[in-house]
Amino acid sequence: MRNGEDLFQHILVNLNNDFDAYEKRAIANSILYDIAHFKMPWFAENNLSIDLINKINHSITRINSGEPTQYVCGVAPFRNYLLKVDRNVLIPRPETEELVSLVLDNLPLIPPGKGIDIGTGSGAIALSIAIESDREMDALDISQGALQVARSNIDKYSANVNVIHGDILNSSLPGNYSFIVSNPPYIPNMDKKDMLDSVLNYEPKEALFVPDDLPLLFYERISDVSLKCLIPKGALFFECHPKYIFFVSELLIAKGFEKVQILNDVSGKQRMVQGFIPD
């Protein structure tokens, strides 16, 4: 191989046919950007050491075995950011970008003050809101491994975010907030049979699944905590399983939240719920 273009073609040829042509090119680009640290045009890159080729071949093997490309390359895009990810955190999804947009759109209606992201994972939600608004954020997670990843991303973008280790199911929040946002675990264990192996075998299960008989486990707890920690006119924002979103909405109404609303994601699925504390 003479240059980066040869290496690009080498990756395409060696990726298995589980991927279509478009996916292969996207994976090859990710490998060359994020692992080789090459810049386009690929043919201008000619520093092809044996160590680099071996590293890329190992990456191809991992991807062919089903490991998500984001974990292999160590990064995932989210809004305008390129975030560090590993198997301690979920790979950020496009629908969660819409949750951030929902919060940002509502900030002018919410009293001044700090917000908190519960179950922060990579820190994607918290750092996006902090950077794209004037709000300070807290970011809470039960996983020390996840918080290490979140700290790395927060430091990378110098975001005004405080990282907090905590178990929301068994403790309260450390202060009062003007808004709370969460994309908590919400997939019942029984849904595992319908999920991709790349998710089941690699992404952190504690960030995905809840018991079959407790699909609203985190929504119930976070709602109760929010009633104690949100200031008047404060807001609560959730990402939800479309199958259970009506029940989340009814839960908020029953607990006294006002202006409760279900919102669709860009694909038309009912995905988000918002509610406000009375004045």
pTM of this prediction? 0.95
**Which residues have CB under 8 Å from 110's CB, separation 6+?**
178, 179, 233, 234, 235
Q: How far is CA 5 from the centre of its chain?
A: 32
CB atoms inside a 10 Å sphere around CB 196: 11
Map tokens 């089903």 to a residue.
Answer: 66
Q: What is the pLDDT of residues 138-180, one digit of tens each?
A: 999 999 999 999 999 999 999 999 999 999 999 999 889 999 9
What is the band of 47 on the pLDDT scale with cuts at 50, 70, 90? confident
How many alpha carbons fall within 13 Å on the CB side of residue 136?
A: 9
- pLDDT confidence of residue 163: 98
Give tens-digit pLDDT for 231-242: 999 999 999 999
222 with 265: CB under 8 angstroms?
Answer: no
Q: What tokens were used for 247?
A: 């029940």
Please report, as a single letter, which amino acid is at residue 229.
Answer: C
β-pairing, 270-276 vs 230-239, is antiparallel
